[in-house]
Amino acid sequence: MGQRPDGRGGPALACRRARRHHPRPGLPVPPERRYGWSAQACGGGVVTLDLQAVGRSAGPDTVSWTSFDALLYALGVGAGQDDSAQELEFTTENTEGVPQQVLPTYAIVLAQRAPGLKVDIGEVDRTKVVHAGQGLIMHRPLPVEGKASLTNTVTGIYDKGSGALVRTSAEAVDLETGEKIFTTQGAIFIRGAGGFGGPRDPAAGWSAPEGEPDQVVSAATRSDQALLYRLSGDRNPLHSDPAFAARGGFTAPILHGLCTFGVSARVVLRAIGVAADRMASINGRFSKPVVPGERLTVSVWSDDKTHLFRTTDSSGETVLDRGVLTTR
């Protein structure tokens, strides 16, 4: 029978004790309230999950980007893929009469690229980590090139039973002007790390759209889409290495969730006829991994400056849900 990390008792005892919500007043916080138990004890991929990481920050760190970086990202999320004569504002820098623009979702990549923004939440088996959701607030449009200072903070660790949900928020400030550029809000789900008795994730205010969508637009992904997207910075082998993907329970490498997110944002902006620099915010929850090569369909329900959307794969299953994009 398996042992608890401290050697006492079995896995059932370890997980039961990990579910206690609070120690009695005057007693020190027991280790099971601070750390998630090992994978052998609780059936997950977490060695230790530090529950006291909430409020912990990393940074500031500096990140810079160039016109080339923005062009590469645009190609990575499928810009110009269906028609190379379209979306030239994102895919070229020298088209006559078409000044280059940056897709706003590139901001999320910039936040991920800064090495000094990794907040210590414990030791985590990367094969058990799934990108659960993403949000982005654009305080002003991204310039074609620039430098920013970023700080990242853990805003919550929630018990989902079968795993733990970790939410973070990163803020970027222009190094030259001191102005806030964007704020990203990420969520990762760590399979097997739940049952520690922490708070449940508060339900987000979102209502399913009613009636038929105002716009339905499809977008292709390439069989090598993940290999192209990873060049923007996310080199997680889950999206490129078949053996690594298999250890995570997938039959093949999957598309980055943020690639699906970027494709969806680009398609929504094009469907509603709004320039990229007018996007104010976007949020979405990942429902199912996408296999590179799938054709995605984005359904959009518009109400003034708020646009709800849902993305499905070629089988009709939802891959990105609870989508909300707002414009200025």
Report, as residue numbers or ranges, the catalytic residues.
234, 239
Write the single-letter amino acid at 86.
Q
- The SS3 call for residue 16 is helix
Residues 116, 163, 158, 291, Cα dihedral to 10°: 60
Phi, psi angles (nearest 5°) of residue 150: -125, 145
Contact 309, 325 (CB under 8 A): yes
Bridge-based pairing state of the strands 279-286 and 163-174: unpaired
In 52-199, beta strands by DSSP E:
57-65, 122-124, 129-138, 146-159, 163-174, 180-191
Q: Element (H or E) spanning 318, and its range?
A: strand 318-327
Closest CA to 292 of 222, 202, 196: 222
Closest CA to 293 of 267, 322, 315: 315
Residues 16, 17, 23, 28, Cα dihedral to 10°: -170
Contact 36, 51 (CB under 8 A): yes
